[in-house]
Structure 1
Amino acid sequence: MRFILFCFLSLSFVGFSQHKVADLKVQGNKKLKSSFVKKIAFIKPGVALDSSVIEEDIRLLKRLPSIAHAYYQVFPAEEENTYNVFYNIEENFTIIPSANVYTTNDDEFAYRLGLYEFNLFGQNITFGGFYQKDIYDSYAINFRAPFLFSRKLGLAVNFQNLTTQEPVFFDGTTADYRYNNESFEVLGLYQFNFTNRVEFGVNFFTEDYEYKSGATNPNVPRELIVDKMLYKLIYEYNNLNYDYQYVEGFRSIFNFQYVHSSNDRMLPDFLIGWNDFQYFKRFGKRGNWASRLRLGIATNDDTPFAPFAVDNNLNIRGVGNLIDRGTGAIVLNTEYRYTLYEKGWFALQGNAFIDAGSWRNPGGDLSDFADSQNFRVYPGLGLRFIHKKIFNAIFRIDYGIGITPDATQGLVFGIGQYF
């Protein structure tokens, strides 16, 4: 052990510059293929032994859904100045059910149930789908393989048939429509380096609006079916570091879309873009502060079918199921997570949060963001029941209480952290 410790100290001081990798060995994995780990690792036989490269590999592995924790060891090989690198893997259980349930004090109730495999064929491929009941039935099937072709290049394919009851706002009144969105999407996934990646592709979809109840207007159709094509670009900067349920670092996700409509008169073409800024900070051994700021803007058409939604399960906990729409959004979610109890594979986490946001009215001005009627603030409390060895096995319960005018309150249940 002293010799191994001496090697580590020596290698740290010289940065591994004059040493070579004899072999990369993967230990502890059962379902995850060793060949997959070697494919995505920067450390290869024959390259210079560099501690910074090894640590980057370990950070990448710890981000994967199939891995709960990873660490490395370095031992001398038979040939002089060569070393064997061992990547030790603690696997996650990756066949995971998903569930989201949300209610308000208006007795609204909706849920989504799903089942996903996050390590299909031991290649870190995600495949699965969900069923949703939100007055109407919906379902989706998703396939995502970020390393399908190489360490940098992958593919995602998604199909969705989503049906909900949507409020449509016009002339200071509201109507309820049955809304259906049937879509097929193909995305290319490319990772430039450890922190930067892009997704790019196209989505073909059909929107179907059918009037159910509420106000009417001759200029607002009671039935509308429109075929659309959506071009999508996502850029992500990710410098997060994971240690089981704790997260630290900064992440930025930019999403830009151009939507072309076959009915430009009723649902015109539009541009939409938003950026999520996420920041996580550890406090002591048990505390974790987490924040997400979303800034979004879209073509400012005066339409009742505006793209940004105010919704329980998306941005403001306790606000209700899709209560408003806008052509711009500013939303801040911030919470302090504290581990109340932890033993072995289980952890119980409490959190105190504040969700706040404002929206620009369709056809409105940027000053709408400062309008008190568009501003909502919902503080609340929650609990997280965490299984540390099952990917995303975090059952969350949050209760949000509105403190702005005409506010609601309600529970939001789900799998995984809210953000």
Structure 2
Amino acid sequence: MRKRLILVLLTLLYCFFGQAQENTISEIVIQGNKKTKTSALLKLSSIKKGATLDSLLIEEDIKRLKRLPSIAHAYYQVHQKEEGYQVVYGVEENFTIIPSANLYTTNDDEFAFRLGLYEFNLLGRNITLGGLYQYDIYSSYGINLRAPFLFSKKFGLALNYSNLTTEEPVFLENGTADYKYNNTSYELLGLYQFNFQNRIELGVNYFNEDYEYKRGVTAEGIPQDFDVNKLLFKLIYEYDNLDYDYQYVSGFKSTFNAQYVISTQNVLPDFIIWWNDFLYHARIGKKGNWASRLRLGLASNDDSPFAPFAVDNNLNIRGVGNTIDRGTGVIVLNTEYRHTLYEKDWFVLQSNMFIDGGSWRNPGGDFGDFGDSQNFRLYPGVGLRFIHKRIFNATFRIDYGYGVTEDATNGFVFGIGQYF
């Protein structure tokens, strides 16, 4: 009886360990990568050699790979071997040394552009390094370094320097004044990913603001020239559940950005500002993609002409012009339908129909300002997208927005990458 019991136990143990052996990952293979380091891709994988095969983790890895700037597309295969399972991750790489360009005009003959050159896969490790030049009446430039996986799969950092000079309208009760505005900033950010969908950025920005009066009305108590140093503490929290299939995107993403700005002088007050972008993308049939962005934001409600939220072509309302108004609160909805007109091999031509609408709270005003017709802008429009499927962010866009609200303008907005 005892011998029979021992035999049964041994049989059960054999079956158990035999099954465990069969479900074990014996090998992980990366194929298709030429520039991207295999070690850099394995570093991001949730599955490990010797662990139990888990299809959910594999699907998560594929989504993560497709989000990388170095990867255009990714897929997987699982092969059963005598010693366990071989998991193969196949990737199609992007070309990642990319120029960037933004250009816009309005019917007021405004003209401005921003040009840049970025490497999104430096050293084959998905490190971004690049710089930009901007002309908007004055010349500006900036340099950016971002290494999200520098220390581990979850922990990295970013360094940014910028010297931006623009002509900024300042809206006073008796009219508008134009200032030459310069912002020189140095920023350090720590980047941390809690898991596949949630990440955070924490950092500090030391910057100098220089305002120089050029023309227009003046008002008592509003300085014409001042130079002030400031310290900015930044928090960004992001939930990202977007899934990419070349030019098509589906899913939901939320990005919360909060900043606390301390001024070294009393010329401008300290203030808090936050905003949240909610993005929703949905596939419509085989060739359609509906995309929407809702931005909600508030700042300290100081009665100052230098309010932080701007109404601007390149930020929120296509066709509206260059910084035509400011506020201490913002509600903006951008929604558009993208449809693939032509696709062959690497090239895609998309049409785009959009509606951009938003409203702002006046400096020192109340929430009723959001319903004021003078603060509301509505700009429908159409556009085209020229897309290279195997070059990262290689979407050249051209949009024409036509205002239908009070004192509206219209104009073209050009750029690299989707508008949002």
Length-normalised TM-score, structure 2 = 0.95
Cα distance in 2, alignment partners of residues 47 and 172 from structure 1? 71
Q: Which runs of 5+ in 1 are unaligned?
A: 1-15
Residue 242 of structure 1 is matched in structure 2 by 244
1:53-75 Cα offsets, whole Å, 9 max, x none, are 00000000000010000000111
1:21-61 Cα offsets, whole Å, 9 max, x none, are 11111000000000001001011101110000000000000
SS at match of 1:39: helix
Residue 13 of structure 2 is matched in structure 1 by none
Question: Superposition pairs for residues 395-410 of structure 1, below 5 Å?
Answer: 395-410=396-411
Q: Please say if residues 196 and 236 of structure 1, whose CA atoms lie closer than 8 Å, have aligned partners that are also in contact.
A: yes
Percent of matched pairs sharing the same residue? 71
Residue 5 of structure 1 is matched in structure 2 by none
Residue 91 of structure 2 is matched in structure 1 by 89
Q: Please say if residues 98 and 392 of structure 2, whose CA atoms lie closer than 8 Å, have aligned partners that are also in contact.
A: yes
Question: Superposition pairs for residues 190-269 of structure 1, below 5 Å?
Answer: 190-263=192-265, 265-269=266-270
Cα distance in 1, alignment partners of residues 116 and 227 from structure 2? 28
Counterpart check, 1:111 vs 2:113: yes
Counterpart check, 1:186 vs 2:163: no
2:43 to 32, 39, 42: 39
Cα distance in 2, alignment partners of residues 142 and 124 from structure 1? 14
Distance apart, 1:139 and its partner CA: 0.3
Residue 65 of structure 2 is matched in structure 1 by 61
Residue 158 of structure 2 is matched in structure 1 by 156
Counterpart check, 1:76 vs 2:80: yes
Distance apart, 1:313 and its partner CA: 0.5
Question: Superposition pairs for residues 124-135 of structure 1, below 5 Å?
Answer: 124-135=126-137
Q: Which runs of 5+ in 2 are unaligned?
A: 1-19
Q: Please say if residues 319 and 409 of structure 1, whose CA atoms lie closer than 8 Å, have aligned partners that are also in contact.
A: yes
1:78-101 Cα offsets, whole Å, 9 max, x none, are 41xx11111001000000000000
Cα distance in 2, alignment partners of residues 347 and 210 from structure 1? 46
- Alignment RMSD (CA, Å): 1.1
Amino acid at match of 1:19: N
Q: Please say if residues 179 and 209 of structure 1, whose CA atoms lie closer than 8 Å, have aligned partners that are also in contact.
A: yes
SS at match of 1:55: helix
Cα distance in 2, alignment partners of residues 284 and 354 from structure 1? 21
Distance apart, 1:18 and its partner CA: 6.1
Distance apart, 1:218 and its partner CA: 2.5
Distance apart, 1:17 and its partner CA: 10
Cα distance in 2, alignment partners of residues 18 and 414 from structure 1? 52
Cα distance in 2, alignment partners of residues 22 and 284 from structure 1? 40
Residue 366 of structure 2 is matched in structure 1 by 365
Distance apart, 1:306 and its partner CA: 0.3
Cα distance in 2, alignment partners of residues 37 and 296 from structure 1? 37
Q: Please say if residues 174 and 217 of structure 2, whose CA atoms lie closer than 8 Å, have aligned partners that are also in contact.
A: no
Residue 9 of structure 2 is matched in structure 1 by none
Specify the structure having the higher radius of gyration (Cα): 2
Question: Superposition pairs for residues 240-389 of structure 1, below 5 Å?
Answer: 240-263=242-265, 265-389=266-390
Q: Please say if residues 18 and 48 of structure 1, whose CA atoms lie closer than 8 Å, have aligned partners that are also in contact.
A: no
Amino acid at match of 1:398: D
SS at match of 2:104: strand
Amino acid at match of 1:182: T
Cα distance in 1, alignment partners of residues 124 and 187 from structure 2? 24
Give the 4+ runs in structure 1 shifted more than 3 A: none
Distance apart, 1:375 and its partner CA: 0.2
Q: Please say if residues 17 and 50 of structure 1, whose CA atoms lie closer than 8 Å, have aligned partners that are also in contact.
A: no
1:30 to 25, 28, 34: 34
Distance apart, 1:171 and its partner CA: 1.2
Q: Please say if residues 398 and 413 of structure 1, whose CA atoms lie closer than 8 Å, have aligned partners that are also in contact.
A: yes
